[in-house]
Every structure is written in structure tokens, then in C-alpha cells.
Amino acid sequence: MGGAVSAGEDNDELIDNLKEAQYIRTELVEQAFRAIDRADYYLEEFKDNAYKDLAWKHGNIHLSAPCIYSEVMEALDLQPGLSFLNLGSGTGYLSSMVGLILGPFGVNHGVELHSDVIEYAKQKLDFFIRTSDSFDKFEFCEPSFVTGNCLEISPDCTQYDRVYCGAGVQKEHEDYMKSLLKVGGILVMPLEEKLTKITRTGPSAWETKKILAVSFAPLIQPSHSDSGKSRLVQLPPLAVRSLQDLARIAIRGTIKKIIHQETMSKSGNGLKNPPRFKRRRVRRRRMETIVFLDKEVFASRISNPSDDNNNCEDVEEERREEEEKNVPEMKPDPPVNFLREKVLSLPLPDPLKYYLLYYREK
């Protein structure tokens, strides 16, 4: 599934292509896609294909095509503070992008059938938190993953604002999926070969919209234990943040506001340097005069006093162009993590600084 847009040279170019093709349509979704490099969720030997609009599967590890994730993210209509349930959470790529939008007061849960994929997702999540330049630009709702079959979720579980299922759902399981949704919530899933958006408008009222044709592997039916009973999946409890954690969120938010105000103040203190345009070189040619005398033609060149000056200017212009070509291309400076710099400059004990930075490596 995929191939709807051209491949990119890197993550940003892939996102540009998805925007141009109208798969990514909102700023929030674009920011989330740019913040998390799709290649980071590939095994090293397969990263050459990361920026193609194609699904990828290796063993139990699976990623849908970028155009599919784009449509899913747009259809979910995510907002800060919502609760999200990802059924078939896989590598955690989608859950991590969702977490950037939900913010620190959202809920971000995933259910995955294969325990080895859960471990893979946790490794990728840890790598993102420790090393990504994007992490400090957001307040992140970290996903929590549990192992189990998403068709065996305990009936007494909480309902969610947003639900996504990453495997093909048959008509017989549609009502089960709807039961996981709060009133006013949105469910997105592949239902009978169509990516479908279902909005719960009331206790027993629904609006259904078909988004596009898709091809997903079907949900795996539950396998019963020796006793004949199914193994109920217990979703993570709704955690209450500690006062210490709330303080960290508040301090980071205040520092970000200060950085933003300082940046706006600096940029407003005068006009930026105007862009430099390359001067167009005009070739000057000597004027030639053709004289008709009787039936004979004589061509003569009328000397121009400025000819010598023009020749000098041409030579000088050519010399400057050669010099410009020989100047090595300047690489852009690496991005500066202003939040990190500001935190490290605070008159605080080092352990507190590292706590504010989530013990990140860079």
C-alpha cells in the first residue's frame, strides 16, 4: 500500500511531497511528521527505503505507507489533552507523532499483539526521547504499550477520545470497536477495505465517512487458553502526574515563553539584512556600420570611446564570477537547542538541571 507520492531524499522532502499531494493539510500534523524521522523506525539495513511512500514489513515489524499515516493523522483531528488508543501500535511511530500533539496532559496507550515488537517500540521511543533534536520543541505525551490481542480488551476499560486500528476490521467487529469510543470521539480504522472515519455523535448515534480504499492485513482472531477462556487485555491505568513532574512541565513552559519573547524582541529591533542578488552581467558589443555604395557593400567598425572601458568591465566581471564559483559552499550551522542552553545556564544543582532536561544526552 502506498506509492501515492514521490520518494524524498530525506524526511523533510518526503513531508513536502505529502503536503503537495494534499495528504498533509494541517500545521499540527505537519509539525509532528517533521519532528520524527521515519528512518529512525527502520532497521539499519532497510533505511534506504524509509522515505519512499511504501509500507515496510520485516518479521513482525511493520510500518504503513506515509500517505496512510497522513490520512489517519488528519482524520483523527487530534488536540492537546485528548486520550488516544492505538490498536496494533507496532513500532510506536504513529503513537509518538500523536504524543507530540496530545501534550503532557493527554493519554497515549497502545496495544500490540507481538511482544518482540513491543520491545522494538520501547527501544525506538527511548532513542527519540534521549537523542532527538525535536523533543525539546514539544511537551510530549509518552506512549505506554501493552501486549495482547486488541479484540480481547477488558470490558471495564475506560473509553477514549480517539481510537485507531492498524489492521483490517471485519464488519462483525465494528460494534466492538465503537464501544471503545467516548461520545464526541473519533474512530479511524480500515473497515472492509476502506479507511473509515466514525464519529460518535451520541450514546447510540454515529457518523461514518469513507476516506480512501486501502489494503490491510486482517485482525488476528483471539486464541483461547487451555481452559477455553480468552486472555483479557488490561490497558494501562490513567496515571496522575506527580507534583514534581507538573513543576517540570511548568518550568519548561515558562522558559520556552521567555526564549520566544527574547527571539521576538531581537528580530524586531531592526530590519534584517536585505537579500543579496547576483548582478546580471550585460555583454556590450561594438557597433558595426554597414555602408551601401553603388552596388558594392563596405563594412566598417565605428570605434566607440567606451569600448576599452567596456572590455575592462567584462574582464573584471568574468574574474568575479570565477571567484564566486571557487568559493566553497558554506554549510548551515547546526540547530541550537535554546531550551537546553537556558536550562544549563540556570543557577541550579546539576541533578535538577538534568531532571528538567529529562536526562537527555544532547
Asked whether residue 88 falls in the same domain as residue 177, the answer is yes
- Same domain, yes or no: 80 and 121: yes
Helices in the chain by DSSP H: which ranges?
Answer: 11-20, 27-35, 66-76, 93-102, 115-131, 174-178, 243-267, 307-326, 338-344, 350-356
pLDDT of residue 72: 98
Q: Are 297 and 291 in contact (CB under 8 A)?
A: yes
Statement to judge: residues 39 and 70 lie in one domain: yes
Q: Please report the pLDDT score of residue 162 as a whole number.
A: 98
Shared domain for 179 and 250, answered yes or no, is no
Grid coordinates belonging to 106: 493527554
Residue 172: name the closest of 204, 218, 209 by CA. 218
- The rounded distance, in Å, linking the Cα atoms of 98 and 75 is 12
Domain-located, residue 325: no
Q: Which residues contact 165 (CB under 8 A, 6 or more apart)?
A: 87, 88, 150, 177, 187, 188, 189, 190, 219
Identify whether 344 is part of a domain: yes
Active-site residue, from 6, 64, 96, 215 = 64
pLDDT at site 276? 44
H or E segment to which residue 57 belongs: strand 56-58
DSSP string, 278-292: PPPPPPP---EEEEE
The verdict on 18 and 149 lying in the same domain is yes
- Asked if 50 and 133 sit in the same domain, the reply is yes
Same domain, 142 and 202: yes
Q: What are residue 318's DSSP bridge partners?
A: none
- Does 345 lie in the same domain as 212? no
Is 70 assigned a catalytic role? no
Residue 64 lies in a domain: yes
pLDDT at residue number 289 = 45
What residue type is 356 in one-letter code? L
Overall domain count for the chain: 2
In a domain, 292, yes or no: no
Same domain? 137 vs 246? no
Decide if 227 is inside a domain.
no
Whether residue 175 is found in the same domain as residue 248: no
Structure confidence by residue, pLDDT tens digits, 111-135: 999 999 999 999 999 999 998 888 9
For the segment 283-329, what is each residue's pLDDT rounded down to a tens digit?
444 444 444 444 444 444 444 555 555 556 666 777 766 666 665 55
Residue 281 lies in a domain: no
Domain check: are 41 and 187 in the same one?
yes
- 135 shares its domain with 251: no
Domain hosting residue 21, numbered range: 11-222+232-239
Q: Look at residues 115, 61, 116 and name the one whose alpha carbon lies nearest to residue 93.
A: 61
Look at residue 322 and tell me if it is in a domain: no
- Residue 156's φ and ψ, nearest 5 degrees, are -95, 15
Whether the CA torsion 191, 117, 34, 28 is positive or negative: it is positive
What are the residue ranges in the chain where pLDDT is below 70? 1-4, 225-230, 268-315, 320-334, 361-362
Residue among 121, 7, 120, 124 nearest 54 (CA): 7
Domain ends where: 239, 270, 303? 239
Instruction: Record the cell numbers describing residue 251, joined without a space.
Output: 518550568
Please say which residue of 239, 273, 308 terminates a domain. 239
Q: Are strands 56-58 and 61-63 parallel, antiparallel or unpaired?
A: antiparallel
Give the CATH number of the domain where residue 182 resides. 3.40.50.150
Helix (H, G, I), strand (E, B) or coil at 183: strand
- Phi and psi, residue 20, nearest 5°: -60, -35
DSSP string, 248-281: HHHHHHHHHHHHHHHHHHHHTSSPPPPPP-PPPP
In this structure, is residue 299 part of a structural domain? no
Q: Please tell me whether the overall predicted TM-score, pTM, comes out greater than 0.75 for this model.
A: yes
What confidence score (pLDDT) does residue 331 get? 56
Closest to 11 in 3D by CA, of 42, 47, 41, 50: 50
Of 182, 211, 239, the residue at which a domain comes to its end is 239
